[in-house]
Structure 1
Amino acid sequence: MFYWLMKYIAIGPLVKAIFRPWIVGRDNVPTSGAAILASNHLSFADSIFLPLLIDRPMSFLAKSDYFTGRGPKGWATRLFMKGTGQIPIDRSGGKASEASLNTGLQILGRGDLLGIYPEGTRSPDGRLYRGRTGIARMALEAKVPVIPVVMVDTDTAMPIGQRIPNIMRVGIVIGEPLDFSRYEGMENDRYILRSVTDEIMIALQRLGAQRYDDVYASTVKDRLPPGAPGRP
């Protein structure tokens, strides 16, 4: 209920009026049943525009830092994240990663839509980077399709490190669902998980024509000089 209140009364009309976002392929999102929306990740704004432009509620797995801030800014951020259907997860690895996986499976088990950024973090330079295999494991365990989603120009509208967005049009391109039922029962095979993940990233690259680099975005960020935009 809170999600729909924020979407249609508080946030949605204002954002749409200011940015006039466009969308192609909305019909590729099923009207019912669970599915994973796998998106490239250019900007914090990605998690704003995608939920607003599809016709069903969806949840994103978001880093827990967004929910723990203090003061008025922390309160506003936490309110916004909850209002747009985002779920806090710990991305520190190990048991935290397993907990994140289970959270995603619970959402899919309810028959809902789950948004995932396979790269694991925002691209520091607009390129598409190697996907993390957690998305493949979720898709195989939950037996759900993966729908590729490409965000367009959100990094120009709200670059990394910029708090006030630039007023401009942004877009979303949604591709046809990917079916991985041929790998049923193989969710513990790391070679299968890598193959499925790579297939998702290829679909994203073809859909959005981004330059692809077969390294993790987090590795590229770690190599950036201190203080550079995108540096953790």
Structure 2
Amino acid sequence: MDMVPTSPPVAAQLTWFEKTWQAFCRLVVRVFYRRFEVVGSENLPTGQGAILCANHVNALADAVVLQAATTKAIRPLARSGLFDNPILKPILGLIGAVPIYRRGDPGVDVSDNSATFRRCYELLAKGETLIIFPEGQSHDVPRLMALKTGAARMALETIQVTGSEPAVIPVGLTFPEKGQFRSSVLVQFGKPIDLTLSEQKTDEQRVIELTDRIRNGLEAITLNAESWDEVNLITRLERFFAFRHGKYRQRNLQQRLRAQQRLIDAQRLLRKYEPDRVRALISQLKQFEKVCRYCGVKDYQLNIEYRPMLIVLYLLRVIWMLLIVLPVVMWGVINSYLPYKLTEHLSLRFAKGPNQADTTKMVLGLGFFTIFWLVQSYLVYHNFGLIWMIAYILSLVVSSVVALMVRGEMRRIRENVRVFLLFLRRRDLKAYLQYKRQELEQELARMVRIANRLSHH
């Protein structure tokens, strides 16, 4: 290969549009997701080219989340068909996206990828950061798909062509409640992949080995389950353990993911060596959850001790919410009800699978809320003048922010008041549920000890 002339790598500076775009992405992510956690930013190099290799489970929302997760200038590699979209094309051009020509896409000539790769070599040698999704497409399975070799080839060929070594960083994207508004997202930047490979191997063998290393790096920071049934079971067990120790609300998303990874390993061992006990435990857990659902009781509510002072403080909180916060929330709901419902309804119709739900809601919500708020603001201006329009816009922003902040809190207040009154009438019910949960906890503890012994054999 011919050497590409390059200048020494420097930290890429954000253009005005890139700064605006990243700020916009952070706003969208903060609105759509209640919890947004970023871990491992220190693994991103400064003054060195980098290839971010991320799992791809949420369509275009993955790229938006990654843009929001860092202040670095990052260039996404996007399938060529997106550049034909009249809305996306100017945005992709302004953020420096690079087209990838995929075999099988209609009207695509994969030979055009030679120019794409040459462009990537130049960017990496200059210290730029690229995003690539090595699975090749967005999907809705709870584990990594087979990885394409493009990321490994790009890294190794950059070294050959430019003489500079890019950092290859695995990036794990975890959406615990994918498709739900005001849910959570975890972004983990893993340790750089070791690019040291044996000179005795062929180029193809080196590419395959590096691809395997990228996969191992991604598996360490993502949840890889055999099925969604396994994910649901592991999520319930993790919550159960956390509530048992009173730590569920204290755990961050990374801690929850690690706990779920350990539980997956443990339950696979137990299914192999203690299948009958596993089936009995699952049956016992389902029965307990069925009773709780029938009564409308959640796990954490069994831990609440209804002492007089706690009840007084909670009543004061309820009064505060009803008298001060609720009117502000209702103003936001009244002004945003139609665009919210339209987004909710049409996203179910247009999303082609769960992996596109977040992206569809983001796009539709952005469009509907912008249109409705502009029309409403114009009507206020037309009828009452500029001052009232400015006041109205400010009220929209404030009431919407407050509504987002207390959305879950209002629901929890209703649930807690109802459960408190239920336990007040049926004191035996709480004691019964606590006893059944204690039985489950004891069996779970025994199973964990068995799994620990098996893992050391």
Task: State TM-score, norm by structure 1.
Answer: 0.76
Residue of structure 1 equivalent to 2:166? 144
Describe the shift of the 1:125–1:209 C-alpha distance in structure 2 as closer, same or farther (beyond 3 A): closer
Distance 1:175 1:43 in 2: 19
Residue of structure 2 equivalent to 1:205? 219
Residue of structure 2 equivalent to 1:34? 49
SS of the residue corresponding to residue 11 of structure 1 reads helix
Question: Cα deviations across residues 18-43 of structure 1 (Å, max 9, x unaligned)?
Answer: 42421111111112211111111111
8 Å Cα contact 1:61-1:87 kept in structure 2: yes
SS of the residue corresponding to residue 183 of structure 2 reads coil
Residue 60 of structure 1: which of 56, 65, 76 is its match? Answer: 76
Residue 92 of structure 2: which of 81, 91, 116 is its match? Answer: 81
Distance 1:101 1:185 in 2: 25
Residue of structure 2 equivalent to 1:222? none
1:173 aligns with 2:184: no
Residue 102 of structure 2: which of 91, 107, 114 is its match? Answer: 91
Of Structure 1 and Structure 2, the greater strand share is in 1
8 Å Cα contact 2:176-2:183 kept in structure 1: no
Task: Give the gaps of 5 or more residues in structure 1.
Answer: 158-164, 213-227
- Measured after TM superposition, the shift of residue 179 of structure 1 is 2.1
Q: Which protein has greater RCO, CA pairs closer than 8 Å, 6+ apart?
A: 1
Distance 1:22 1:60 in 2: 21
Residue of structure 1 equivalent to 2:204? 190
SS of the residue corresponding to residue 22 of structure 1 reads strand
SS of the residue corresponding to residue 166 of structure 1 reads coil
Task: Give the gaps of 5 or more residues in structure 2.
Answer: 1-14, 104-108, 159-164, 227-351, 355-457
8 Å Cα contact 1:23-1:171 kept in structure 2: yes
Name the amino acid aligned to 1:145. A
SS of the residue corresponding to residue 129 of structure 1 reads coil
Residue 135 of structure 1: which of 151, 166, 176 is its match? Answer: 151
Name the amino acid aligned to 2:175. D
Describe the shift of the 1:131–1:108 C-alpha distance in structure 2 as closer, same or farther (beyond 3 A): same
SS of the residue corresponding to residue 178 of structure 2 reads helix
Question: Cα deviations across residues 48-100 of structure 1 (Å, max 9, x unaligned)?
Answer: 1112211211111001221212xxxx32x334434554322322364133333
- Measured after TM superposition, the shift of residue 185 of structure 1 is 10
Distance 2:70 2:146 in 1: 26
8 Å Cα contact 1:173-1:207 kept in structure 2: yes
8 Å Cα contact 1:37-1:146 kept in structure 2: yes
Percent same amino acid among aligned pairs?
A: 28
* Greater Rg by CA: 2
Question: Cα deviations across residues 143-176 of structure 1 (Å, max 9, x unaligned)?
Answer: 212111000118813xxxxxxx733221101111
8 Å Cα contact 1:150-1:208 kept in structure 2: yes
8 Å Cα contact 1:42-1:154 kept in structure 2: no
- Measured after TM superposition, the shift of residue 183 of structure 1 is 5.0
- Measured after TM superposition, the shift of residue 125 of structure 1 is 1.9
- Measured after TM superposition, the shift of residue 7 of structure 1 is 1.5
C-alpha root-mean-square deviation of aligned residues, in Å? 2.9
Distance 1:119 1:18 in 2: 25
Runs of 4+ displaced beyond 6 Å: none
Residue of structure 2 equivalent to 1:118? 134
Distance 1:138 1:185 in 2: 20
Describe the shift of the 1:84–1:172 C-alpha distance in structure 2 as closer, same or farther (beyond 3 A): farther
- Measured after TM superposition, the shift of residue 184 of structure 1 is 7.0
1:24 aligns with 2:46: no
Residue of structure 2 equivalent to 1:221? none
Name the amino acid aligned to 1:21. F
Name the amino acid aligned to 1:136. A
Distance 2:72 2:205 in 1: 33
SS of the residue corresponding to residue 221 of structure 2 reads helix
**In the comparison of the two structures, how many residue pairs are matched?**
204
